[in-house]
Structure formats: structure tokens, C-alpha cells
């Protein structure tokens, strides 16, 4: 599943700013300051040498290689040049070579240990490497030397956020605003922190203030768009993403967010190219030393199609595998172990591997979720076969042997997704919230929940039969669903499994749904047997359950002994 991500503010101005009302940093982060050296007067920076002074304007103009040449020449002339070392570090940082950037700034600090700029730049490079704790130490040292260095407060707050310390970050940023409230970056980061704390209106206020201070600051509009998105203002959110990209065409997060917005709107042709930005994000697909398939003729070449993201995503996108076979590919399919028995039935496979284990030789590869772009999939040509997988016979025999009730509706339920998924708290529900369904006359309930969430069965005894002890993999789940008349679930792999099998499934969705469920419709173009029940207000599952109960009660009255 996919989720949006906030961008953190960057340093926007050079140097430090003095203010008579600056608060001591110890008021903001005393636990961190206790480890810092005592404050002393900062040394005067040495004059910038002539070659370095030419390098910095080139760097500011984006002429990184020319700037780097200047700094290198300056360093050859004076191996003790702090400005040249820091300049080389900035060039390395800009080129994404963060380890080298840290090295240059550390060399500068070995010459002048109390260089404020070197400390700040080193912290920034460490933060980019994912070393937030070490970055914090650098920022604190810089702030001990100059407690009015506003950009360092912003960088410190970002690093604290990376360590999941939003309260500390908030306090740091509030101190920064007492020094100078004219820094758009500080307002931006404070807006992000307030949003994370659920203080949406305060977040908006600070982001709007930042927009007034620095209208060309692209990240602001992306962050504001994300708040609109979470509030369900999807059109407004898309407008802000587009504003971000008008200012910064290379902004990966804004491109990603715009792509998700387009997919949610069903504009697949426009959205799929943006979806390829997965390669530039944290949870990128696996890569291999073979070319990515771009839709060219396959002519019998071996192509590896590999799963990514969650089980539900894999189930949903397996529908495209036969199209690759039909296009002339000798398909090697790699899926998680729990899907092995189901996937083995896909016709035309050349080989099946499980969990990224030992792979045979192949010529090309593609993640499953890149196939819609390559194949030119739109809403109009989306493959919607009623069932493109089925339970294998041994799993069917195992499921049939269970003691199923002969009369009444058999209803399977699942209420929780994986906690490792970013939006799990919004998409999941507690089992007790489904209690209004569980006492309906003429219905029998069966838990399809596996792993996380199963413990809720013991915490709140309810009339529901647990199928987990009889489930070894998703093939068993598929076979159990064939014995059920209906599946009621939140947005998890269970929903996709029921949809793949063509079983009747009622999907409970949060106010802000995943892109694949689109908006303002109670059906899904991906699964003809699915009916959608949407929240009208964020967090309001009670009204959703009430609507499901009404529909279920009607269904139970209509059917005394369903045919299976």
C-alpha cells in the first residue's frame, strides 16, 4: 500500500542571525545539551581565499563541477583552507555523495574545531546518511557556539523528527521563532510538526505564513497539499502538488503525491508514469543487473516478474502475468512463500520462485506493479476476469473437512492490516467495533484474520470461529472463502483475495482511501464482486458498521440456506 510523505525544511539562508531575545538552547533540549561542551566565544572566520570566493557563486548557480574545480585548486594552493574543504563538502552533498561530504567537513573541523559552518554542514551530510543522532550532536555544537543560528535550529528540529521526537522538535522551533520569525523554513518545519501532532489549524497557519515569507519555497505547497489530502480535499491537494512542481519540477515527493492523486481519480494513463518514482523512494522495488522491460517485443526471452509491497498488491497485480506470457515472454514469477501454491496455477509460467530465493537465469525483469504502465492499462482496458486464481484441490479438501454450519449465511471477517503499513491506523478497525454485526440472526461468522490482530479474539469473546489454526498459507484462505457466502473486511490482503476469487466481498474504507479504490463509488473496477462502504467522516467506523449491518440483515432475511 502507498502513503504520502512530508518533506522537511531545508536551510534557506546562509549565516547566523543575532537577536537580543535569543533563548538559551538548554531551555529547548536540556537532555541533549548536557552532553555538549561549555559555550565559548566563537572564533572569527578566516577571510575567504580568492579561488574559493569564485567557487561559491558558481555553486549557487548550480554549476557544481566548475565550483568543485575552483575548490580543488584552492585546496592545492592551501591545504589548510577551511572554505575550500567546506566548498568541496557542499559539492559532494549536492551530488548525493554524503560520506565524502562528511569527510571534507570533518577535515575542515580538524583544522578549526569550532567552525560553525563546518559543524552545520557536517550535520546536514550526516542527516542525509540517516545518522540523525550524530547530526544532532553537530547542530548542538554549532548552536553552543552561536545560539542565534536560526537555520541550525531548523536542522536540529528535522533531525529530532527523524528520531520520532516531535515534541522536542516543536520546542526547538518555537525557540527559533523567538530569535527571528521571518524564516520560512522554520515555519514550514513547525507546520509539519504540528500536523504530525494533530494540530491541523496551527500547521496551516505556519505554512501559510511561510508562503507569505517565501512564495517560491516549493516544499511548502507539497506539505500544505498533504494536509488537504488528509482532510479529504483531494482536488485542492492536487492543486498544491502542481504548484510545488511548477516551482521545482524535480521534487520527487510532489511528483509521487500528484501521481497518487491522479490514480485515485482513475486517470491511470497519466498516473502510472509517476508511480515509477517508487525507484527513488525508501521502499524501492528490488533491482537486478538486467534491463527493465519497457514493453518491447519479448520473442521468447526469459523475463523475471517479481512481487513488491504487500500481499494484497501482489494478488491484485498478478492479473497482468498472463498478458506478459501472451506477449511472448518466458515468465519467471517470484512471489512470497504464502502465495506459492496459488501462483503456481497461473498458466504459461516458465518457472516459479518464492521469496526471492535462488533465481534461474533471465534476460529482463519487471516489478509486478510496473506492468500496468508498460502494458498501457487504463480503466477502459483493465483486465477484470471474475477469477484469475483458484484454490488448489488439497486446500479445498482441507477446508471442506471443517465443521461448517449447514444453514444460514457464512460470513468471513478481517479487521486489521499490517502495523508496518503507514496508514494502518486509519484503515484498520477493532474487532469489538464489529460487534453490532456478530449477533444477527441467521448468520455465522468466521475470522479470516491472520497474524497481527488475532489476539483480539481472546480479548473480547464474541460469536466468531477462528480459522487461523487451519490456515498455513493464502491457498488455505482461498479455499475457506469458497465455503463462505460473504467476506466483510477492511483494506487488507483478505479483500484482494476475495476479489481475485470472485467471492462477494464488502470492503470497509476510511475517509481517505488507498488510490485503487477511487472516490464516490460503491463498486471497484478491479473486482466485480466487491461492494465498498466508505467513511463519510474520518475515524467514524460506527456509521459504516451500521450501514453494513442493515445490508447484512436484509441479505440474511432473503437467503435461508444459500447455495454454495
pLDDT digit string, tens, across residues 490-545:
999 999 999 999 999 999 999 999 999 999 999 999 999 999 999 999 999 999 99
Residue 421, pLDDT score:
82
Residue 23, pLDDT score:
44
The answer to whether the CB of 268 falls within 8 A of the CB of 377 is yes
The CA distance from 438 to 275, in Å, is 40
The CA distance from 6 to 197, in Å, is 13
Dihedral sign, Cα of residue 268, residue 270, residue 276, residue 281: negative
- CA distance to 95, 378, 501, 525, per residue, from 384 (Å): 45, 12, 11, 7
* Buried b / exposed e along 36-68 (16+ C-beta atoms within 10 A): beeeeeeeeeeebbebbebbbebbeeeeeebbb
Q: How many other CB atoms are there within 10 angstroms of residue 88's CB atom? A: 27
Full 3-state SS string of 164-218: CCHHHHHHHHHHHHHHCCCCHHHHHHHHHHHHHCCCHHHHHHHHHHHHHHCCCCH
The CA distance from 101 to 122, in Å, is 7
Q: What does residue 413 show for φ and ψ, rounded to 5 degrees?
A: -135, 150
- Residues of the chain where predicted confidence (pLDDT) is lower than 50: 1-24, 26-28, 31-47
- CA distance to 9, 68, 135, per residue, from 219 (Å): 7, 27, 22
Residue tagged 508498460 (cell numbers): 374
Closest-CA residue to 357 (of 335, 387, 379) = 335
Topology at the third CATH level for domain 302-375: Rossmann fold (3.40.50)
Residue 561, pLDDT score:
53
Residue 128 grid cell:
542525509
Residue 22, pLDDT score:
45
The CA distance from 81 to 280, in Å, is 35
Residue 557, pLDDT score:
83
Residue 152, pLDDT score:
95
* Buried b / exposed e along 387-415 (16+ C-beta atoms within 10 A): ebbbbbeebbebbeeeeeeeebbbbbbbb
Residue tagged 507569505 (cell numbers): 212
CATH of domain 393-558: 3.40.50.2000
- CA distance to 303, 362, 371, 372, per residue, from 300 (Å): 9, 11, 18, 21
The answer to whether the CB of 103 falls within 8 A of the CB of 88 is no
The CA distance from 481 to 478, in Å, is 5
The answer to whether the CB of 329 falls within 8 A of the CB of 301 is yes
Closest-CA residue to 473 (of 356, 373, 375, 339) = 339
Q: How many other CB atoms are there within 10 angstroms of residue 344's CB atom? A: 14
Name every residue whose Cβ is closer than 8 Å to that of residue 102 and which is 6 or more positions away in sequence: 89, 122, 125, 126, 129
Structure-derived torsion over alpha carbons of residues 112, 117, 122, 123, reported in degrees to the nearest 10: 130
Per-domain residue ranges of the chain: 25-248, 302-375, 393-558
Do 302-375 and 393-558 agree at the fold level? yes
Superfamily the domain 25-248 falls into: Tetratricopeptide repeat domain (1.25.40.10)
Name every residue whose Cβ is closer than 8 Å to that of residue 302 and which is 6 or more positions away in sequence: 329, 330, 331, 332, 350, 360, 361, 362, 363, 364
The CA distance from 426 to 437, in Å, is 21
Residue 190, pLDDT score:
95
The CA distance from 328 to 370, in Å, is 18
Q: Which residues pair with 330 in a beta bridge?
A: 302
Please provide the DSSP assignment of 386-409 as one string. S-S----HHHHHHHHTS---SSSE
Q: Which residues pair with 351 in a beta bridge?
A: 332
Amino acid at each position: 500500500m502507498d502513503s504520502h510523505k512530508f518533506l522537511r525544511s531545508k536551510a534557506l539562508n546562509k549565516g547566523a542571525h543575532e537577536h537580543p531575545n535569543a533563548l538559551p538552547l538548554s531551555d529547548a533540549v536540556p537532555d541533549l545539551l548536557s552532553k555538549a561542551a561549555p559555550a565559548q566565544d566563537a572564533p572569527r572566520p578566516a577571510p575567504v581565499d580568492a579561488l574559493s570566493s569564485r567557487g561559491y557563486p558558481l555553486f549557487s548557480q548550480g554549476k557544481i563541477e566548475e565550483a568543485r574545480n575552483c575548490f580543488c585548486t584552492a585546496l592545492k594552493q592551501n591545504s589548510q583552507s577551511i572554505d575550500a574543504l567546506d566548498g568541496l563538502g557542499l559539492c559532494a552533498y549536492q551530488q548525493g555523495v554524503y560520506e565524502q561530504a562528511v569527510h571534507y567537513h570533518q577535515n575542515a573541523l580538524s583544522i578549526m574545531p569550532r567552525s560553525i559552518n563546518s559543524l552545520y554542514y557536517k550535520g546536514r551530510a550526516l542527516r542525509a546518511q540517516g545518522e540523525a543522532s550524530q547530526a544532532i550532536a553537530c547542530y548542538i555544537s554549532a548552536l553552543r557556539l552561536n545560539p542565534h543560528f536560526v537555520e541550525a535550529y531548523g536542522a536540529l528540529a528535522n533531525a529530532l523528527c527523524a528520531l520520532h521526537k516531535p515534541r522536542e522538535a516543536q520546542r526547538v522551533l518555537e525557540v527559533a521563532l523567538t530569535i527571528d520569525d521571518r524564516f520560512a523554513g522554520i515555519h514550514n518545519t513547525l507546520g509539519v510538526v504540528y500536523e504530525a501532532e494533530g494540530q491541523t489549524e496551527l500547521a496551516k497557519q505556519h505554512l501559510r505564513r511561510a508562503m507569505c515569507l517565501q512564495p517560491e519555497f516549493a516544499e511548502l505547497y507539497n506539505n500544505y497539499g498533504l494536509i488537504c489530502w488528509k482532510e479529504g480535499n483531494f482536488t485542492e491537494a492536487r492543486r498544491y502538488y502542481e504548484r510545488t512542481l511548477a516551482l521545482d519540477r524535480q521534487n520527487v515527493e510532489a511528483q509521487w503525491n500528484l501521481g497518487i492523486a491522479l490514480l485515485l481519480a482513475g486517470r491511470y494513463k497519466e498516473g502510472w508514469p509517476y508511480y515509477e518514482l517508487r525507484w527513488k523512494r525508501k521502499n524501492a522495488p528490488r533491482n537486478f543487473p538486467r534491463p527493465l522491460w519497457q514493453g518491447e517485443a519479448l520473442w521468447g526471452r526469459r523475463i523475471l516478474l517479481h512481487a513488491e509491497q504487500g500481499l494484497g498488491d501482489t494478488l491484485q497485480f498478478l492479473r497482468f502475468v498472463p498478458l506478459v506470457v501472451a506477449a511472448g515472454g518466458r515468465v519467471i514469477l517470484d512471489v512470497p512463500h504464502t502465495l506459492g501454491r496459488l501462483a503456481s496455477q497461473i498458466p504459461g509460467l516458465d518457472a516459479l520462485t518464492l521469496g526471492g530465493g535462488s533465481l534461474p537465469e533471465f534476460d529482463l525483469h519487471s516489478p509486478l506493479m510496473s506492468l500496468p504502465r508498460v502494458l498501457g492499462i487504463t480503466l477502459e482496458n483493465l483486465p477484470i476476469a471474475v477469477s484469475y486464481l483458484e484454490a488448489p484441490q488439497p486446500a479445498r479438501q482441507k477446508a471442506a473437512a471443517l465443521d461448517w454450519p449447514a444453514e444460514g449465511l457464512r460470513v468471513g471477517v478481517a479487521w486489521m492490516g499490517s502495523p508496518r503499513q503507514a496508514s494502518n491506523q486509519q484503515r484498520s478497525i477493532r474487532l469489538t467495533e464489529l460487534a453490532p454485526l456478530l449477533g444477527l440472526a441467521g448468520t455465522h461468522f468466521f475470522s479470516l484474520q491472520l497474524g497481527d490482530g488475532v489476539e483480539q479474539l481472546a480479548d473480547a469473546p464474541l460469536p466468531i470461529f477462528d480459522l487461523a489454526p487451519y490456515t498455513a498459507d493464502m491457498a488455505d484462505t482461498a479455499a475457506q472463502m469458497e465455503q463462505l457466502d460473504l467476506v466483510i473486511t477492511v483494506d487488507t490482503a483478505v479483500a484482494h483475495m476475495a476479489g481475485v476469487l470472485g467471492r462477494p466481498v464488502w470492503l470497509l474504507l476510511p475517509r481517505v482511501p488507498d488510490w485503487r479504490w477511487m472516490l464516490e463509488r460503491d463498486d471497484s473496477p478491479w473486482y466485480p464482486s466487491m461492494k465498498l462502504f466508505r467513511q463519510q467522516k474520518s475515524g467514524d467506523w460506527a456509521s459504516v458498521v451500521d450501514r453494513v449491518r442493515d445490508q447484512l440483515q436484509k441479505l440474511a432475511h432473503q437467503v435461508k440456506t444459500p447455495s454454495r
